[in-house]
Structure 1
Amino acid sequence: MPDDLTKKRPLDSSRINIHEPYEVKYWSQKFGIMPSRLKELVAKYGTSAAVIAKMI
């Protein structure tokens, strides 16, 4: 089943899914960082949005 491209926000607001482009865009804008930086942080600290927010 294809992704629903009308989605603008993550389904689980506590986790970051870097495999969904709309989530990468959402979280990058929310944290005010580049998508590449978001991916680096997720790789290092995991997918918890709360943890990533503390690392910024």
Structure 2
Amino acid sequence: MPDDLTKTGKADRDKVNVNQSHELRDWSKKLGVTEDQLKKAVKEVGVYADDVKKHLKK
């Protein structure tokens, strides 16, 4: 089922979805990395935002 962009909540804020262009753009900007760096981080540690943030700080 596709995401309903009108319904956001904690579950959406806790995960990084690099398959949606607006989320990829927004998370990249928020974390101060390129879209490619973000995709690589998600591939390495998974979609949970806390894990991605920790990984990118290394």
TM-score (normalizing by structure 2): 0.77
TM-score between the two structures when normalised by the length of structure 1 = 0.79
Structure 2 gap ranges (5+) = none
Could you report, residue by residue, the CA deviation over 1:6-48 in whole angstroms, capped at 9, with x for unpaired residues? Answer: x6xxx31000111100000010000000000000000000000
1:3, 1:40 → 2: CA distance? 22
Identity percentage of aligned residues: 32
Q: Which protein has the bigger helix share?
A: 2
Query: For this pair of structures, how many residues does the alignment match?
Result: 50
- Please report the RMSD computed on the Cα atoms of aligned residues, expressed in angstroms: 1.8
In the TM superposition, residue 3 of structure 1 has moved relative to its aligned partner by 7.1
1:31 matched to which residue of 2? 31
Match of 2:15 in 1: 15
Q: Which runs of 4+ in 1 moved over 2 A?
A: none
